[in-house]
Structure 1
Amino acid sequence: MSDVRARIAADMPRAWRELAELVKFRSVADERQFPREECVGAAEWVRDAFVDAGLETAELIETVDGSLAVVGHRAAPEGAPTVLLYSHYDVQPPGDDKLWSSAPFELTERDGRWYGRGAADCKGNVVMHLLALRALGDELGVGITVVSEGSEEMGTGGLEHLVLERPELFASDIIVVADTGNAAVGQPTVTTTLRGIANVVVRIDTLEGEVHSGMYGGPAPDALAALVQLLSTLRDAHGNTVVDGLTTDQTWDGITYEADRFRADAGVLDGVGLAGSSTVADAVWARPALTVLGIDCPPVVGSAAAISPTASARLNLRVPPGIDVQEAQDALTAHLKAHVPWNARITVEPEAVGSPFEARTDGPGYAALGDALAEAFGKPVAAAGQGGSIPLCNVLAETFPKAEIILMGVEEPLARIHAPNESVDPREIENLAGAEALFLQKLGASDR
């Protein structure tokens, strides 16, 4: 392990240069915001980098959503397993540049962290894979399949369709999904569960049109007030999510998530309390969570003294493993219809659902990675959940039921992924690359 770690440490200046080159690509998979050429350039860069790192073949495959998937291979020695290493090169839009302390598409170092859109999610994981493969070189004793997705952040499903259409490209014994992260910097963590997603849009209609609040206010049913009252029924007095017919008392049996650290990670303002009466770990990893994503109603600036005839909201329900996501969406729809005040007219439009995921933790791959992470970080490995969803995991699990799927990555809480000033701690890249290299070594040695 010491030789591999030394090689990775010596390679970190190159890792900086590579991540800087990759961050420069404005690879948002939405041509309304950035030209397609940005994603094409990033895909070509990733393909060429993995060939340089020792893959025998690598190609760009256009998927049904128009994005390019990078798929590369290095054949396994006889009797050795094949490991699939996943990442994605597309990124979230940067948002308002004024909220960034440095240009979002220029990698910038500040206080020991590397800042830039995608530095952690997920271009930092691309570089982590490259470091591990280069450190092993010809010592690699397993087969490798590399997959880097081009539309993960848009959720348009291009890679998922490709898995179903051409499963032979992805056949492997162990799948490492590098798109999560440690519970904290320096705390090796594997993600064992992902919450699913069940969104709906609810609309309330009460009047034929706006009417004067002075003449009709009081008995006239205010659609916005009805919506506010309806949304309030989705939380109890403590702030817990409550949906009729939905189980909400599950508990988390992995690593704890201390309230003070959660407050700091989430940027909770001083004096503001946390919602809910459970532990933080229970709330974010084991229980359903309802978020109001947006409301359509008159804006404050320019609003008139009028009663709103219509109002709508988009609701996001996160669904943990153990709960059927379609049943959860149906329960949310039924709850809204049952609790709408004043017999107001209500329309609930469901969006596509994404199922939760729970990884197997009893296989040789999981054990080997746990040992490798503990050795690389010098600490025992923790198990954590993730509030977000990665639909690809479910598709891979259904397509390759015998394969182990393991989730890890460089995206710890301080990375502020999807937000302004996203960053990565280079120690996370270095240590995880060392862990991945050792993991691959262990797998190769065990099958010789």
Structure 2
Amino acid sequence: MTLPEAPLDAHDQEQRLLDAVEDRFPATIARLSGLVRIPSVSWDAFDRVHVQRSAERTAELLRELELFDAVEIEGVETSDGYAGQPAVIATRQAEPGQPTVLLYAHHDVQPQGSADDWRTPPFEPTLRDGRLYGRGASDDKAGVMTHIAALEALGTATSGRPRIGLSVFIEGEEENGSRSFSDFLAKHRAALGADAIIVADSDNPSTTTPGLTVSLRGNVTMKVTVRTLGHASHSGMLGGAVPDAMLAAVRLLDTLWDADGAVAVAGLGTRSGGLAGGDEADIRRDAELLDGVTTIGRGSVHDRLWNQPAITITGIDAPSVAEASNTLLPVVSVRLSARIAPGDDAVEAYAALERHLTEHAPFGAHIEITQPDVGQPFLVDTAGPAVGLMKSAMRDGWGADPAETGIGGSIPFIAALAEVYPDAEILVTGVEDPATMAHSPNESQDLGVLRRAISAEGLFLLRFARPDTDIS
């Protein structure tokens, strides 16, 4: 006769959870490595079959946990006919009176870029000096594995019967703009509803200090086309008398910044009273700023990175140096990417940029703005109980006090989550650190950070359950 297992007290459950994280960590690394081997680039020019393979493997890992009532793969078609990349959704009902947590990450990745810039093969995970190298090893397949490993440890600690409700949403096109995200949420609004949402797609101040992201800049992108001539002409014949499009484009773009490199566009706001501080030496080190090159902007480092707007020209359509001829160009196009301060409105920021570019067109150049895209910034309400619970879990899982941080990048779908689920507390965590180099060649994941992030999330999930109540 087999006697039922005696229930564990809270301390013993937590110790069992932490032991499970440690015992299963080699398997966690192996499963992460398997995901990295799948080149799940979600950009339109890449083969969608790899994103499908990645979704199928992610779904398989979730099913193996034997925690969920349902695990499904689905892509949603948008109203304009775009076929969304496959996402994975898993759900488990909460016990009566218990809360529900939604866990978000994404299984798609950025393109590898030039293979010559990688020290290791981009889709062959390589372990070196405590870091796992490969495209997506951190952003965000390590986020996917944080959820899976934390759920696995939770299952061990609760003998496979966690009391809280669990929803998992692993997106397949975050790196391609989350174009079907809103349609997906609209279709699965009820299934993904939760009291707390953990977004595992951010970073930490260091490999030993956890970060809880509380502010995110928004983004505005557009294609700006400058035209001055009806056709190309010999630069020796007409140069000096008529403005070519490259001259006009350079003069126009220069008006976007002042002499210090700070944004000079009227109508782009700056957040006051936000997180500040930081060390300029850290910027020089992380960016590998060349000797003699200065930083740009004004104010503290964190103000410049988190609380102020920034504008970057990320691409130019023009002849390459190798193909340059003595020609006055009739048209030049650029890709403009702007980061918007928390508290600002991305739609209004787009209008401000459009107005500035039109009003500052030099020599009467014709300006055309197309391919607009906007993502709202976000500020986390840090007064809720889930925030305090996550900080406590981070403290115990990492062995260090967590820092409230901002990020200069953008995660626009978080604002969409907040709009659809206004009563849910949103907790933005992550597994990156300053050496991760996400989106760049030689992306890597620190394995110590990964283990501690799993422990912290597992403790949060275990502690999120409410005490027994009489619901009769």
TM-score tier by shorter-chain length is: over 0.9
- Pair 1:30–1:327, CA change in 2 (3 A): closer
1:42 to 25, 33, 54: 54
Deviation at 1:442, TM superposition (A): 1.6
Post-superposition Cα deviations, 1:259-310, rounded to whole Å, max 9, x if no partner, equal 1112222232232111112222111111111111112223222322222222
Report how many residues are paired: 446
- Pair 1:141–1:107, CA change in 2 (3 A): same
What residue in structure 1 maps to residue 181 of structure 2?
159
Instruction: Say yes or no: does 1:73 pair with 2:91.
Output: yes
CA distance in 2, matches of 1:350, 1:16: 40
What residue in structure 2 maps to residue 299 of structure 1?
320
Q: What residue identity is the alignment partner of 2:342?
A: P
What residue ranges of structure 1 are gaps of 5+ in the alignment? Answer: none
Q: What residue identity is the alignment partner of 2:180?
A: G
- Pair 1:332–1:113, CA change in 2 (3 A): same
Deviation at 1:83, TM superposition (A): 0.4
- Pair 1:160–1:412, CA change in 2 (3 A): farther
Deviation at 1:62, TM superposition (A): 2.3
Deviation at 1:30, TM superposition (A): 3.8
What residue in structure 1 maps to residue 393 of structure 2?
372
Using the TM superposition, name which of 156-165 and 120-129 deviates more: 156-165
CA distance in 2, matches of 1:257, 1:184: 13
CA distance in 1, matches of 2:217, 2:123: 30
What residue in structure 2 maps to residue 439 of structure 1?
460
What residue in structure 1 maps to residue 29 of structure 2?
16
Deviation at 1:2, TM superposition (A): 3.6
Deviation at 1:255, TM superposition (A): 6.0
Deviation at 1:388, TM superposition (A): 2.2
Instruction: Say yes or no: does 1:321 pair with 2:342.
Output: yes
What residue ranges of structure 2 are gaps of 5+ in the alignment? Answer: 1-13, 78-82
1:221 to 243, 250, 253: 243
Q: What residue identity is the alignment partner of 2:432?
A: E
Q: Is the 8 A contact 1:321 1:356 kept in 2?
A: yes
- Pair 1:191–1:292, CA change in 2 (3 A): same
CA distance in 2, matches of 1:89, 1:297: 34
Q: Is the 8 A contact 1:203 1:348 kept in 2?
A: yes
- Pair 1:417–1:178, CA change in 2 (3 A): same
Q: Is the 8 A contact 1:86 1:178 kept in 2?
A: yes
Q: How do 1:78-89 and structure 2 match up within 5 A?
A: 78-89=96-107
Q: How do 1:397-416 and structure 2 match up within 5 A?
A: 397-416=418-437
What residue in structure 2 maps to residue 106 of structure 1?
124
Deviation at 1:382, TM superposition (A): 1.1
What residue in structure 2 maps to residue 240 of structure 1?
262
Q: Is the 8 A contact 1:255 1:382 kept in 2?
A: no
Post-superposition Cα deviations, 1:139-170, rounded to whole Å, max 9, x if no partner, equal 23311111111111111422321111221121
CA distance in 2, matches of 1:229, 1:267: 28
Quote the sequence identity (%): 38
What residue in structure 1 maps to residue 113 of structure 2?
95
What residue in structure 2 maps to residue 63 of structure 1?
76
CA distance in 1, matches of 2:144, 2:363: 54
Q: How do 1:124-139 and structure 2 match up within 5 A?
A: 124-137=142-155, 139=158
- Pair 1:239–1:115, CA change in 2 (3 A): same
Instruction: Say yes or no: does 1:430 pair with 2:451.
Output: yes
Post-superposition Cα deviations, 1:345-367, rounded to whole Å, max 9, x if no partner, equal 22223502111112221111111
Instruction: Say yes or no: does 1:264 pair with 2:285.
Output: yes
CA distance in 2, matches of 1:136, 1:322: 37
Q: What residue identity is the alignment partner of 1:409?
A: G
What residue in structure 1 maps to residue 64 of structure 2?
52
Partner SS, residue 355 of structure 2: helix
Deviation at 1:31, TM superposition (A): 6.0
Partner SS, residue 264 of structure 1: helix
Post-superposition Cα deviations, 1:91-150, rounded to whole Å, max 9, x if no partner, equal 111111121111111110111111011110111111111221121215233111111111
What residue in structure 2 maps to residue 7 of structure 1?
20
Partner SS, residue 179 of structure 1: strand
Q: Is the 8 A contact 1:254 1:382 kept in 2?
A: no
Post-superposition Cα deviations, 1:315-355, rounded to whole Å, max 9, x if no partner, equal 11111221111111111111111111122222223502111
Q: What residue identity is the alignment partner of 1:286?
A: N
CA distance in 1, matches of 2:392, 2:211: 12
Deviation at 1:425, TM superposition (A): 0.4
CA distance in 1, matches of 2:228, 2:325: 18
1:187 to 164, 189, 209: 209
CA distance in 2, matches of 1:61, 1:201: 31
Q: Is the 8 A contact 1:141 1:440 kept in 2?
A: no
Q: Is the 8 A contact 1:54 1:134 kept in 2?
A: no
RMSD (CA atoms): 1.7
Q: Which has the higher helix share?
A: 1
What residue in structure 1 maps to residue 365 of structure 2?
344
Using the TM superposition, name which of 438-447 and 269-278 deviates more: 438-447
Partner SS, residue 338 of structure 2: strand
CA distance in 2, matches of 1:251, 1:417: 29
CA distance in 2, matches of 1:100, 1:257: 30
TM-score (norm 1): 0.95
